[in-house]
Homo-oligomer: A and B are copies of this chain.
Amino acid sequence: MALHEFLPYRISVVAEAVSNLFAARYQERFGLTIPEWRVMAVVGENTSQTTQQVIERTGMDRVRVSRAVIRLADKGLLDRMVHHRDHRAQILQLTRSGQAVYQQIVPLAREMQAALASALTAAEVAQLDGILTKIGQRALEMSGVAPAPR
């Protein structure tokens, strides 16, 4: 049972290499961590959002999101407003300077995605997409998450 042929190990190693690479780029160009970057990406995509929506869309732990949001607010990239209906909740919105950063973040992301994908054929990119979806679902099923109701 060679470790380097063990699928979970291989996925983990590759994911870590990719993450480290991207984390370094975000950090040096924008001073953003990966959680911060993800929040920016989600909040920038739609005009304004609840923290809860950000949690769902990033798939990150609520504590992680909470901290990223606080740091982004401290950096002046994000505004937090009390939700009108539910005073426990927050509405998140990019500030003007946050939007400016977002405008730079998107092309860099595309560029890096392209750089990675260029190691593959178009067919392989499509295959990878489907494979990741299937494996992700299977992992969730095995974790005891109920399969999708029909």
Interface residues of A, Cβ cutoff 8 Å to B: 1-4, 6-22, 24, 38, 41-42, 45, 57-59, 106, 109-110, 112-113, 115-120, 124, 127-132, 134-140, 142-143
Contact = CB atoms under 8 A, between A and B. Distances in A.
Given A1-B109, A45-B1, A124-B131, A18 B14 contact: no
Instruction: Please report whether the interface of chain A is mostly helix, strand, loop or mixed according to DSSP.
Output: helix
Contacts of A18: 7-8, 11-12, 135, 139
Contacts of A3: 38, 41-42, 45, 57-58
8 contacts: A1-B106, A1-B110, A2-B45, A7-B128, A8-B19, A10-B132, A116-B139, A120-B135
